[in-house]
């Protein structure tokens, strides 16, 4: 990599680097480039559709080589001290500075523009976390070999690679078409910085097929994807069942609101619209929302600013057909156009265009087309503007414009989004988390919070590796349970019927069916409802009504409600101990000990309600920033069989302490303690409908929870087939998953529910929250 002496020839260093590799780039494995001769190749084109170079498509043996190299690299990398790992990342920052021109040019050539200054900031930030890992996270351990599949910008790629490396993992990068060249160059720069061979590997080809091949290897421990919804869904379905935890950041297909209130500086807001909406390639899709009292002024300013603007080149010529269809449909629905000039009849160019007067249900609002097309909607009040901002199924980011700080903060708090920019847009820094909500992602990148996706508590069991089972996903959960009451059974021989708790009320199953609660010896102890899909629907409907109010209560108020739950459990400790002993056949003393631990655990969560807070990081840009944890919403929890009461209150306490509502499914094997606990709930101050406990077939209720669009997260203890079903199904609608194969965990001792280790409690509360970042500029 040599710098040219002439500043006029801006492509010198990038072109010379490509020429050095004969414009055919192979894989970067075990610290060196390799380009086998018998491989298919993919062309990489620039903005003018000219071929820049080609990349090689990996085969099975290439994947095996990369994984073996990464496994060896992980062993070497984790044995280094925190200081030694941090030293490598700090040196990377200086290497990036030295080769910044080549990095910048190569990103520009591959249509993945990223400033080297941003990458240097990333390297410096995560070097400090590499230094502090053992000091601040002593109870956490790296996953091992991490696969990062990316089809976004280089910034988002490195926002996953660098934290994974800083926490001690080795990484295999599967770059998309636009990030392949920068990824290969950066891998070479990592080696120049002194990273051991094998710690960072890059294999190119189809993201979906490579992710599936990598997941099949038992040495791969974690997979994370950043890109578009369609590819992410294909990756999830290809990897389901291999026992690899997955996370997704689907920012590329996210639709974000740009909200202008009547108290905004309109000139600055319109400048922001012009900067953001009419770029050739955007990180997100945008929808403009303007308050009616200033709509005419904003439209007039837009017309003035757009006059004379040139046509923007589209990423692909097929985008032109999509734009024409969307614009024609919008006009048929009454929209008016603002265009800088008439569009060319054909070709890959299109003028900056604003579609005015659209309804929220219009297709161009729900799914805006690629290219320089901006939908515009209007709203009357500030509250309606927030509602409009939450209308999209995505939850990535928003830009709000107002000179009223109170309105800005209240609106930012009410928007169900991961990032909110006040009077600015697209400001990012690794110190603040980027957290996708709803269809925008199920993980957190950036900040301290983003490190934990690449770690697990040392005492927490990992998901066991396996091969996929043959599952009929459409029929999952339809097999009759062995606990169903047999035909001709005499109900008078059973001493008691336990109702379930749905929507805050004691109910039978909506289907009217019941099931048996069996003792370990097979004797029938009681009957309980056999809940189904409609019971789940009723429970979720009640939860959505009560959860927003519960979340808005002060942490101190939530704390007192949970203390009352612990007190109610204390008053019924003997009844719960008897139910545990009867159901599990352990001694009464052990059952009493479990109840005592359960009371203590609820008190712990009550005490943590107002202790888990966000912060105010110090970003390098001028202004202030806030990072706050928020409730996920409604959670589905399929409870484990081990420690049936203690596991229930541990998971319940974490969920409700952070402001969530929860629909719980007790263990089919030991449901009695959960049914007895219903009376404890009813005697406490927990609002009716916040917690529902539904008994029934685990698979049937899992299927109902997975297919419900309101459920934001599922915590699952169950079968290997259930884990596979959830990984396959919970990509659409997207959910956060915390999966445990209970049969395998029992053999390996599983999670120790009695342990008071801080990392296990921290893992629980981090699973119960999402993060919101708020940027407030001062200039």
CA distance linking residue 681 with residue 675, whole number of Å? 10
Do the Cβ atoms of 129 and 31 come closer than 8 Å? no
Burial (Cβ within 10 Å: 0-12, 13-18, ≥19) of residue 661: buried
Do the Cβ atoms of 402 and 264 come closer than 8 Å? yes
Tokens of 592: 């009493």
Return the pLDDT at 681. Answer: 95
In total, the chain counts a number of residues equal to 779
CA distance linking residue 396 with residue 657, whole number of Å? 25
Q: Is the pLDDT of residue 293 over 70?
A: yes
Secondary-structure percent of the chain, ordered helix, strand, coil, rounded to 5: 45, 20, 35
Return the pLDDT at 524. Answer: 85
Return the pLDDT at 744. Answer: 65
Return the pLDDT at 487. Answer: 45
Report the SS3 class of residue 748: coil
Q: Is the pLDDT of residue 505 over 70?
A: yes
Q: Higher confidence at residue 646 or residue 108?
A: 646
Return the pLDDT at 488. Answer: 46
Q: Which residues pair with 624 in a beta bridge?
A: 776
- Give all strands (DSSP E) within 542-646, no chain letters: 624-631, 634-638
Percent of the residues in the chain that have a pLDDT greater than 70, as a whole number: 94
Could you write out the DSSP letters of every residue in 137-179?
A: -TTEEE-SEEEEEE-S-HHHHHHHHHHHHHTT-EEEEEE-TTT
Return the pLDDT at 83. Answer: 96
Q: Is the pLDDT of residue 486 over 70?
A: no
Residues 6+ apart with CB under 8 A from 204: 25, 26, 27, 42, 55, 56, 57, 58, 174, 175, 180, 184
Return the pLDDT at 492. Answer: 52
CA 460 to chain centre: 21
Do the Cβ atoms of 148 and 161 come closer than 8 Å? yes
Q: Is the pLDDT of residue 2 over 80?
A: no
Tokens of 512: 């009217």
Band (pLDDT 50/70/90 cuts) for residue 479 is low
Return the pLDDT at 746. Answer: 58
Tokens of 393: 């199924």
Burial (Cβ within 10 Å: 0-12, 13-18, ≥19) of residue 413: middle
Do the Cβ atoms of 511 and 537 come closer than 8 Å? no
Return the pLDDT at 743. Answer: 73
Looking up tokens 């970003």 gives: 619
CA distance linking residue 23 with residue 15, whole number of Å? 9
Over residues 52-96, the pLDDT tens digits come to 888 999 999 999 999 999 999 999 999 999 999 999 999 999 999
How far lies 426's CA from each of 277, 282, 286, 366, 723, in Å? 11, 10, 11, 21, 36
Query: What SS3 string covers 705-735?
Result: HHCCCCEEEEEEEECHHHHHHHHHHCECCEC
Instruction: Tell me what the pLDDT averaged over the chain comes to.
Output: 89
Q: Is the pLDDT of residue 299 over 50?
A: yes
Residues 6+ apart with CB under 8 A from 611: none
DSSP structure class, residue 653: H
DSSP structure class, residue 615: B
- Give all strands (DSSP E) within 476-592, no chain letters: 500-502, 505-507, 514-518, 524-529
Over residues 193-211, the pLDDT tens digits come to 999 999 999 999 888 899 8
Return the pLDDT at 653. Answer: 96
How far lies 472's CA from each of 53, 187, 232, 342, 380, in Å? 43, 41, 21, 52, 49
CA 738 to chain centre: 12
Query: Which among 110, 138, 137 has a CA at the least distance from the CA of 50?
Result: 110
Percent of the residues in the chain that have a pLDDT greater than 90, as a whole number: 61
Q: Is the pLDDT of residue 49 over 80?
A: no
Looking up tokens 């942490």 gives: 555
CA distance linking residue 442 with residue 455, whole number of Å? 16
Return the pLDDT at 498. Answer: 82
Over residues 392-412, the pLDDT tens digits come to 888 899 999 999 999 999 999
Return the pLDDT at 739. Answer: 93
Return the pLDDT at 446. Answer: 93
Please give the model's pTM, rounded to 2 decimal places. Answer: 0.92
Q: Is the pLDDT of residue 383 over 90?
A: yes
Give the residue-averaged pLDDT of 223-249: 92
Q: At what angle do helices 555-571 and 573-584 cross, to 10 degrees?
A: 70
Q: In 200-355, which ranges are continuous DSSP H helix?
A: 207-215, 229-239, 266-277, 295-306, 318-332
β pairing state of 514-518 and 524-529: antiparallel
Query: How would you classify residue 732: left for phi > 0, otherwise alpha for psi between -120 and 50, otherwise beta?
Result: beta
Over residues 93-106, the pLDDT tens digits come to 999 999 999 999 89
Return the pLDDT at 510. Answer: 67
Do the Cβ atoms of 508 and 675 come closer than 8 Å? no
Give the residue-averaged pLDDT of 574-597: 94
Return the pLDDT at 513. Answer: 81
Do the Cβ atoms of 526 and 499 come closer than 8 Å? no
Over residues 313-322, the pLDDT tens digits come to 887 777 888 8
Return the pLDDT at 480. Answer: 57
Looking up tokens 């995560």 gives: 126
Looking up tokens 């950043």 gives: 226
CA distance linking residue 580 with residue 207, whole number of Å? 49
Return the pLDDT at 171. Answer: 97
Over residues 762-775, the pLDDT tens digits come to 999 999 999 999 99
Query: Which among 228, 341, 349 has a CA at the least distance from the CA of 285?
Result: 228
Query: What SS3 string covers 421-443?
Result: EECCCCCCCCCCCEECEECCECC
Do the Cβ atoms of 202 and 27 come closer than 8 Å? yes
CA distance linking residue 535 with residue 516, whole number of Å? 18
Return the pLDDT at 9. Answer: 40
Return the pLDDT at 720. Answer: 92
CA count, 13 A, side-chain hemisphere, 215 = 30
Lowest mean pLDDT among 559-563, 633-637, 749-753: 749-753
Rounded-to-10 torsion of CA 318, 321, 322, 328: 170
Do the Cβ atoms of 201 and 172 come closer than 8 Å? yes
Band (pLDDT 50/70/90 cuts) for residue 620 is low
Q: Is the pLDDT of residue 518 over 90?
A: no
Q: Higher confidence at residue 242 or residue 340?
A: 242
Residues 6+ apart with CB under 8 A from 702: 476, 477, 638, 665, 714, 716, 718, 722, 725, 726
Return the pLDDT at 769. Answer: 95
């Amino acid at each position: 990599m040599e710098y040219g002496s002439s500043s006029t020839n801006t492509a010198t260093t990038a072109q010379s680097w490509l020429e050095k590799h004969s414009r055919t780039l192979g894989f970067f494995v075990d610290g060196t480039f390799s380009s086998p001769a018998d491989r298919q190749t993919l062309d990489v084109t620039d903005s003018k559709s000219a071929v820049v170079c080609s990349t090689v498509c990996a085969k099975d043996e290439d994947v095996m080589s990369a994984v073996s190299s990464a496994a060896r690299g992980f062993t070497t990398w984790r044995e280094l001290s925190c200081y030694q790992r941090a030293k490598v990342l700090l040196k990377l920052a200086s290497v990036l500075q030295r080769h910044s021109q080549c990095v910048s040019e190569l990103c520009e050539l591959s249509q993945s523009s990223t400033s080297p200054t941003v990458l240097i900031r990333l390297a410096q930030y995560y070097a400090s976390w590499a230094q502090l890992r053992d000091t601040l996270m002593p109870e956490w351990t790296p996953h091992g070999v991490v696969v990062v599949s990316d089809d976004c910008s280089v910034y988002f790629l490195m926002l996953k690679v660098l934290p994974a490396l800083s926490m001690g993992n080795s990484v295999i990068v599967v770059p998309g078409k636009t990030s392949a060249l920068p990824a290969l160059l950066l891998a070479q720069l990592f080696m120049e910085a002194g990273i051991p061979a094998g710690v960072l590997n890059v294999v190119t080809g189809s993201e979906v097929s490579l992710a599936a091949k990598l997941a099949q290897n038992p040495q791969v421990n974690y997979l994370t994807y950043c890109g578009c919804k369609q590819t992410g869904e294909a990756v999830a379905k290809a990897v389901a069942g291999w026992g690899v935890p997955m996370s997704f950041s689907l920012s590329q297909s996210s639709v974000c609101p740009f909200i202008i209130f009547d108290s905004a500086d309109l000139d600055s807001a319109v400048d922001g619209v012009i900067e953001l909406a009419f770029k050739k390639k955007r990180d997100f899709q945008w929808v403009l929302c303007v308050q009616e009292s200033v709509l005419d002024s904003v439209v007039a300013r837009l017309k003035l600013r757009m006059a004379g603007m040139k046509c923007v080149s589209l990423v692909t010529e097929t985008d032109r057909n999509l734009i024409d269809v969307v614009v024609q449909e919008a006009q048929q629905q009454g929209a008016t156009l603002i265009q800088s000039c008439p569009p060319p009849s054909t070709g890959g160019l299109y003028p900056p265009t604003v579609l005015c007067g659209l309804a929220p249900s219009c297709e161009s609002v729900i799914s805006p087309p690629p290219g320089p097309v901006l939908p515009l909607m209007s709203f009357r009040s500030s509250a309606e503007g927030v509602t409009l901002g939450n209308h999209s199924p995505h939850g990535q980011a928003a830009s709000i414009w107002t000179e009223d700080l109170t309105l800005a903060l209240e609106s930012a708090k009410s928007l169900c989004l991961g990032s909110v920019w006040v009077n600015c847009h697209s400001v990012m820094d690794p110190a603040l988390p980027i957290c996708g909500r709803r269809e925008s992602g199920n993980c957190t990148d950036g900040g301290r919070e983003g490190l934990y996706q690449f770690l697990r508590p040392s005492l927490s069991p990992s998901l066991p590796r396996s091969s996929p089972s043959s599952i009929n996903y459409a029929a999952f959960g339809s097999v009759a349970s062995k606990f169903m009451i047999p035909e001709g059974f005499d109900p008078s021989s059973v001493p008691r019927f336990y109702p379930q708790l749905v929507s805050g009320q004691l109910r039978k199953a909506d289907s009217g069916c019941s099931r048996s609660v069996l003792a370990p010896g097979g004797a029938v102890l009681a009957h309980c409802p056999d809940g189904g899909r409609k019971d789940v629907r009723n429970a979720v409907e009640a939860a959505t009504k009560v959860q927003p109010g519960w979340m808005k209560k002060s942490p101190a108020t939530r704390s007192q409600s949970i203390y009352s739950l612990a007190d109610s459990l204390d008053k019924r400790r003997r009844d719960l101990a008897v139910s545990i002993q009867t159901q599990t056949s352990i001694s009464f003393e052990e059952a009493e000990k479990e109840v005592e631990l359960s009371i203590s655990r609820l008190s712990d969560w009550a005490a943590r309600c107002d202790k888990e807070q966000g912060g105010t990081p110090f970003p390098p840009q001028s202004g202030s920033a806030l990072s706050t944890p928020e409730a996920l919403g409604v959670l589905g929890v399929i409870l484990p069989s081990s420690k049936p009461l203690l596991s229930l209150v541990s998971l319940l306490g974490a969920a409700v302490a952070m402001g969530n509502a929860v629909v719980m499914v007790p263990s089919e094997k030991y449901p009695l303690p959960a049914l007895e606990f219903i009376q404890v709930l009813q005697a406490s101050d927990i609002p009716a409908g916040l917690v529902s406990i539904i008994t029934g077939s685990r698979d049937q209720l899992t299927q109902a929870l997975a297919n419900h669009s309101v459920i934001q997260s599922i915590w699952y203890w169950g079968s290997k087939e259930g884990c596979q079903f959830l990984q396959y199904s919970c990509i659409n609608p997207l959910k956060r998953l915390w999966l445990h194969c209970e049969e395998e965990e029992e053999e390996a001792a599983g999670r120790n529910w009695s342990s008071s280790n801080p990392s296990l409690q921290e893992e629980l509360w981090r699973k119960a929250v999402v993060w919101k970042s708020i940027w407030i500029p001062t200039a």
